[in-house]
Amino acid sequence: MTTDRIHIIGLRVECIIGINDWERVTKQEVVIDITLHADLTKPGESDDIKDTINYRDISKAVQAHVAASSYGLLEAMARKIATICLEPEAVIRADVSVQKPGALRGADSVGVKISRS
């Protein structure tokens, strides 16, 4: 298995997330970290965007989906984000962390982290 990775860190998106009544109508910020596992040998040698995973495309797809979504649970959001990340054939595994800042009094954030392949 490859040890090559592409990281997208601190992607911030406003969305409907949560199970409380007020959360169903008020957008909140989530912070998303993504690690894409892939063999980056070819793009490392060619220096050609056609040979790699376009992280801009993945970022835009994740942002668009999350901004238009209405999840109750971070777990469900993270699962769908991982599915989006796995769409490019070159992605072997996706690690996704979704944080909800300020979700608990006294804590900076609450979140989930999942890995899918």
| Domains (range + CATH), the chain | 5-116 (3.30.1130.10)
Q: Assess contact for 33 and 5: CB atoms under 8 A.
A: no
Kindly give the confidence (pLDDT) of every residue in the chain, 117 residues in length, as a single tens digit, with 9 standing for 90 and above: 568 999 999 999 999 999 999 999 999 999 999 999 999 999 999 999 999 999 999 999 999 999 999 999 999 999 999 999 999 999 999 999 999 998 889 999 999 999 999
Q: What is the pLDDT of residue 78?
A: 98
DSSP secondary structure string, 75-94?
A: HHHHHHHHHHHT-STT--EE
Q: Assess contact for 45 and 56: CB atoms under 8 A.
A: no
Q: Indicate which residues carry an active-site annotation.
A: 100
Q: What is the pLDDT of residue 2?
A: 63
Q: What is the pLDDT of residue 47?
A: 96
Q: What is the pLDDT of residue 31?
A: 98
For residue 39, give both structure tokens. 């063999």
Give the residue among 28, 6, 38 at the shortest CA–CA distance from 111. 28
